[in-house]
Every structure is written in C-alpha cells, then in structure tokens.
C-alpha cells in the first residue's frame, strides 16, 4: 500500500515530499492551474459551497471523501493505483519483458504525445462546460456537473505529474501549454476535434458525458495496459472516477426521455415541443451528433501510429487480458473500405486496425445505455426506438471522412446529404428551442426543470432534495 500524504500542498500517494525538485516544480505549476480554473472553470459558482467527492487515496474502498467545498479550494491530488508486483509488458513486440518505470529514450516522443493528448482533453471539457451552471435543471444536476469538472481537473493533474516527473524540460513546457490552449479558440485550440465543439445546453452535456467521457474510458483502458508503468497506474485510478461521469450522462438522457415519454403516454395529441419538452427525434439527432464526433476521437480505422503504439507497448487494447493473441502480427481485421464509390470488404493487418478494434468495443458499450433508454420509453408504452447511427455517419476522421452516409449507413450524394442534414443532426431550431427551455437555473432544492424527470435517488445516500450547492 502506498503511503498517502493528504495534508501537503498537493495531496498525493507518490511520496512527492521525497523528491524536492519535482515537488517544487509542481508547486510552481499549482497557482497557474488555479488561475486557469478561476478564469476558465465553472462561470458564476466559484464562491459557492458544493457537496463534492474528493479523491484522498487509491484504495478500492474509501478512496473518496464527501463534503462541501468551494471549487477553487478543491484538493486536486496525484493518486496512482497501487503497483502490480513484477508487472511485465502484456502485448506487442516486448511482451513478457519487465514494465518500464522510466521512459525508454526511443519511445519518449510518442509517449509524451499520448500523454499530452490525453491531458489536453481534461481542461478542454471543463472549458466547454463552463456556462452550463447558469442553466442547470436542478441543484442535483448542478452538483454533478461540478463533480465532473473538478475530476477532469484532477485528470489534468495526473498527466501533468507524468510530464513533470518523466519528461524534463519538454514536459514542463507541455504542462504550461496545457493551460494555454483553449477549447474552440481558432488560434490555439484544443488538440482533438470534439473538445472544441461548443456545449451550450444540458442535452449536449448529457450526451457528452455519455458518449465522449466513454471515449475517455476506452482510451484510459488502452493506456492502462501501457508498458510505461506510471501511465498504467495513473490511468487505472482515473477510471475509478470516470464511472460517475458516464452515469451522469446515462441517467441524464434517461430522465429526459422518461419525461417526454410520460407526456406522450398521457397527452397523445399534444406535441412535446409545444409544452416545452424535448421530443424524441431531437434526442436522436443529439445522439447522432455526439456519437459520431466521439467516434472520431479513436483516430483513423487504418493507422500506422496505432500499429506503432501497439508494437512498442505504449498503448494496448481495452482489457488486453480478454484477447488470446497479444502479439497480433498474423491476424487481420475486416472492415468496409470505400473504393471507387463502393464499400469493399477488406482485411487489414491487425496492428494497423487497433483504433478500429478499440472503437468496436466502445460502440458495443455505447449500445447498452441506448437499450436502457429504449426500455424506459417502451415501459411507458410509447412506440419509439432510439438507435446508434452507423459508424460511417458524419465522420470527419478516417476512412469515411469527406463522404456522406445516412445514419443507417447508406451512402448518400452531396445533394441528398444537404437536403436531409436537418433530419440527421441538430438544427439551429433545435438549439434555439433548447435555449428557450433552458434559459434559467433551477436552484430550489429538490425542484426539477420542466423538461427532465427527477433522478431515482440522490448522491451518496443524500436525498434528491438535499442542498447540493449553496451560497451564504
Ligand atoms: N481530432 O493515426 P491516426 C477523455 C490526428 S477522451 C483531431 O488516425 P492515432 C475525456 C492524429 O493526432 C480520451 N486530430 O490516429 C473525455 C494524427 O496526427 P498527425 C482522450 C485527430 O494517432 C471527456 C492524425 O490525425 N485520450 O479522456 O492513431 C471529458 C492521424 O491519426 C483526431 C486520448 O485520445 C481527432 N479526433 O490516434 C474529459 C488518448 N484523431 O500524426 C476527458 C491519447 C486523429 O498526422 N491519444 N487525429 O499529426 C491517442 O491515443 C491518439 O492520439 C488518438 C489518435 C487515438 C487520439
Ligand atoms: Fe477525464
Ligand atoms: Fe470524465
């Protein structure tokens, strides 16, 4: 069991105090982080007391502490999962050799790049979500938003710790740059596409935490397999926090469709939208959008980068232990490749298909929540089914980028795509409508906005009507 220092300036279980240089470097980064948080974190709520979970250790039971805290005073710490004794590399060319405690020179650039890319998404999401508090549907939801935000802040700390402790001067520079890029900024944007998309309404927030945080889950699972042991340990602990983020998304969408389906059952002749409710075709358009831009986050279907990461042991597959062959040199992976206007089934060398392998596991995982949403709708007797669009739909990265496909995967001409776009993807009217029903914050304890059902229960044994966020 690693020893835990929670009363230091930076709570940690990595014996930070025994490495003065590193401690000093991180203590110098800390005020810059805090400045970024106050500037770019949740707008309008920095002085509020929020009932938050704080990681205080990496133990499987009792790793978190719940209490009121003002967000700028949140104790962002550095926690790595406990080491696995004599851990060896689990896949790729160096399978079976000891895992690395230090960065091998030949993999330094690639590893730094992976860590920076992972790190960049964390503050990006906080920036994307910074206005949402002002239109929260309840105090319960407001608290969940802030819980997600502070933990994404901690995930940034996790990557910055690796950069500072293992990448010397370049690492320190990268850590500064992580606080300088800005989501959606044309001159200095965040690295990956989806993290520059505006997020102005709560339907998007729930879709994001369901679909985009789940990309986080799969990327973290793949990095948890890494031969670079500190990366493996830190991502393993991050996954513990990630589960709640996806819960917020799954139950958020579920409560939206529950509210609408209830209305459809009770007042069949009254259009949901005419009474300020989010109609199910609109929910489908938001699924189509956030799912497709989250698929892009896995990179190209055929990727020499991915093959290289796998060969050298930097990044594996989610749950590598579930595969029989950890070398993956001989087999191939079949995919539909666009060729001369048609889709042709092609066998691609397995290692170059690793992004697609990971994306395939992700898609299966995404389907489970959609099934639950459909169950809610069916139980209310409403004949409507939500679906995940085809993985070819609306892609900007990889084999299908620049081509047009309908949500069912059918190829479309440019004109047909333009004509149907408004059926497939959120429209300006959708956005204006959501803006109109989400124009103010609902902050009376226990009260819910009209467009969403109450959650089944509160957080950590507290009732739904608990005052999760308060201001004195
Ligand atoms: N946007 O070989 P390719 C999370 C670039 S989410 C823009 O196809 P590769 C979170 C790529 O960099 C998890 N650019 O892809 C969730 C490359 O550039 P170069 C985040 C993109 O490299 C919610 C070129 O296109 N973690 O934690 O195999 C809230 C060709 O790339 C995109 C990670 O991403 C894109 N979508 O894979 C908070 C893990 N996709 O070489 C947090 C670390 C590709 O031509 N990152 N490109 O300059 C990785 O493993 C890989 O970088 C990627 C891309 C999977 C993202
Ligand atoms: Fe995260
Ligand atoms: Fe997350």
- In the chain, where the domains are located: 16-470
Burial of 31 (0-12, 13-18, 19+ CB in 10 A): exposed
Q: In whole angstroms, how far apart are CA 36 and each of 21, 29, 41, 71, 181?
A: 23, 11, 7, 12, 11
Q: Report the C-alpha gap between 112 and 289 in whole angstroms.
A: 30
| Residue 329 burial (CB count, 10 A) | 11
- Distance from the alpha carbon of residue 158 to the mean position of ligand 3, in angstroms: 13
Report whether 112 contacts 90 (CB < 8 A): no
Burial letters 416-440, b for 16+ CB under 10 A, else e? ebeeeeeebbbeeebeebbeebbee
Structure-block tokens of residue 443: 């902050």
Q: What pLDDT does 61 receive?
A: 79
- Distance from the alpha carbon of residue 41 to the mean position of ligand 3, in angstroms: 15
Q: Report the C-alpha gap between 392 and 404 in whole angstroms.
A: 8
Q: Please work out whether the CB of residue 133 comes within 6 Å of at least one atom of ligand 1.
A: no
Q: What pLDDT does 4 receive?
A: 74
Exposure of 219 in the CB half-sphere (CA atoms within 13 A): 21
- Distance from the alpha carbon of residue 162 to the mean position of ligand 1, in angstroms: 19
Q: Please work out whether the CB of residue 152 comes within 6 Å of at least one atom of ligand 1.
A: yes
Q: What pLDDT does 1 receive?
A: 45
Q: Report the C-alpha gap between 397 and 142 in whole angstroms.
A: 33
Q: What pLDDT does 279 receive?
A: 98
The CA-CA-CA angle for residues 93, 98, 103, to 5°, reads 80
Q: What pLDDT does 2 receive?
A: 55
| Residue 184 burial (CB count, 10 A) | 14
The CB-based long-range contact list for 379-385 (8 Å cut-off, 24+ gap) reads 380/258, 380/261, 380/262, 380/264, 380/265, 381/265, 382/261, 382/264, 382/265, 382/280, 384/261, 384/264, 384/280
Q: What are the E-state strand segments in 19-120?
A: 49-55, 64-70
Query: Considering the entire predicted model, what is its pTM?
Result: 0.97
Atom of ligand 1 nearest to the CA of 215: 6
Residue nearest (by alpha carbon) to ligand 1 atom 7:
192
Report whether 103 contacts 115 (CB < 8 A): no
Atom of ligand 1 nearest to the CA of 358: 55
Cα 57 to its chain centre, rounded Å, is 22
Looking at the CA of 211, name the nearest ligand. 1
Q: Please work out whether the CB of residue 297 comes within 6 Å of at least one atom of ligand 1.
A: yes
Q: Which CATH class is domain 16-470?
A: mainly alpha
Q: What pLDDT does 7 receive?
A: 79
Q: Please work out whether the CB of residue 192 comes within 6 Å of at least one atom of ligand 1.
A: yes
Of 292, 318, 301, the closest CA to residue 194 belongs to 292
Strand pairing report for 469-470 and 49-55: antiparallel
Q: What pLDDT does 3 receive?
A: 65
Per-residue pLDDT of the chain (472 residues; tens, 9 = 90+): 456 777 789 999 999 999 999 999 999 999 999 999 999 999 999 999 999 999 998 988 789 999 999 999 999 999 999 999 999 999 999 999 999 999 999 999 999 999 999 999 999 999 999 999 999 999 999 999 999 999 999 999 999 999 999 999 999 999 999 999 999 999 999 999 999 999 999 999 999 999 999 999 999 999 999 999 999 999 999 999 999 999 999 999 999 999 999 999 999 999 999 999 999 999 999 999 999 999 999 999 999 999 999 999 999 999 999 999 999 999 999 999 999 989 999 999 999 999 999 999 999 999 999 999 999 999 999 999 999 999 999 999 999 999 999 999 999 999 999 999 999 999 999 999 999 999 999 999 999 999 999 999 999 999 999 999 999 7
Report whether 301 contacts 356 (CB < 8 A): yes
Cα 377 to its chain centre, rounded Å, is 26
């Amino acid at each position: 069991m690693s020893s835990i220092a929670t009363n230091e300036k930076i709570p940690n279980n990595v014996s930070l105090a025994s490495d003065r240089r590193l401690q000093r470097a991180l203590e110098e980064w800390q005020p810059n982080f805090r400045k970024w948080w106050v500037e770019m974190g949740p707008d309008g709520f920095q002085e509020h007391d929020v009932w938050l979970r704080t990681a205080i250790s990496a133990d499987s039971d009792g790793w978190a502490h719940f209490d009121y805290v003002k967000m700028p005073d949140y104790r962002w710490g550095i926690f790595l999962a406990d080491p696995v004794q004599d851990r060896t590399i689990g896949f790729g060319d160096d399978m079976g050799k000891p895992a690395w405690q230090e960065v091998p020179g030949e993999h330094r650039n690639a590893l730094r790049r992976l860590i920076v890319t992972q790190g960049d998404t964390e503050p990006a999401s906080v920036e994307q979500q910074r206005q949402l508090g002002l239109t929260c549907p309840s105090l319960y939801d407001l608290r969940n938003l802030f819980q997600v935000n502070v933990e994404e802040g901690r995930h940034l700390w996790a990557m910055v710790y690796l950069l500072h402790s293992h990448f010397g001067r370049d690492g320190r520079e990268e850590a500064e740059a992580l606080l300088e890029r800005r989501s959606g900024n044309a001159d200095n944007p965040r690295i990956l596409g989806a993290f520059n998309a505006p997020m102005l309404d709560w339907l998007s927030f729930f879709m994001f935490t369901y679909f985009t945080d789940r990309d986080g889950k799969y990327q973290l699972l793949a990095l948890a397999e890494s031969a670079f042991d500190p990366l493996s340990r830190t991502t393993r602990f991050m996954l513990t926090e990630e589960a709640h983020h996806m819960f917020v998304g799954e139950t958020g969408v579920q409560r939206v469709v529950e509210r609408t389906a209830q209305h459809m059952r009770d007042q069949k002749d009254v259009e949901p939208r005419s009474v300020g409710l989010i109609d199910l075709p609109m929910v489908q358009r938001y699924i189509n959008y956030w799912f497709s831009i989250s698929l892009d986050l896995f990179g190209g279907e055929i990727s020499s980068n991915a093959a290289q990461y796998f060969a050298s042991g930097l990044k594996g597959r989610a749950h590598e232990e579930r595969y029989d062959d950890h070398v993956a040199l001989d087999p191939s992976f079949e995919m539909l490749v666009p060729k001369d206007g048609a889709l042709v089934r092609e066998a691609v060398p397995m290692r170059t298909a690793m992004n697609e392998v990971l994306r395939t596991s992700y898609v299966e995982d995404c389907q489970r929540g959609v099934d639950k949403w459909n169950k809610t709708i069916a139980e209310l007797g409403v004949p409507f089914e939500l679906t995940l669009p085809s993985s070819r739909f609306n892609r900007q990265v990889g084999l299908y980028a620049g081509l047009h496909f309908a949500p069912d995967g059918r190829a479309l001409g440019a004109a047909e795509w333009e004509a149907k776009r408004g059926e497939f993807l959120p429209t300006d009217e959708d956005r204006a409508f959501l803006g109109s029903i989400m124009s103010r914050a609902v902050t009376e304890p226990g009260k819910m906005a009209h467009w969403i059902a109450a959650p089944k229960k509160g957080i950590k044994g507290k009732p739904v009507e608990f005052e999760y966020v308060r201001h004195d």
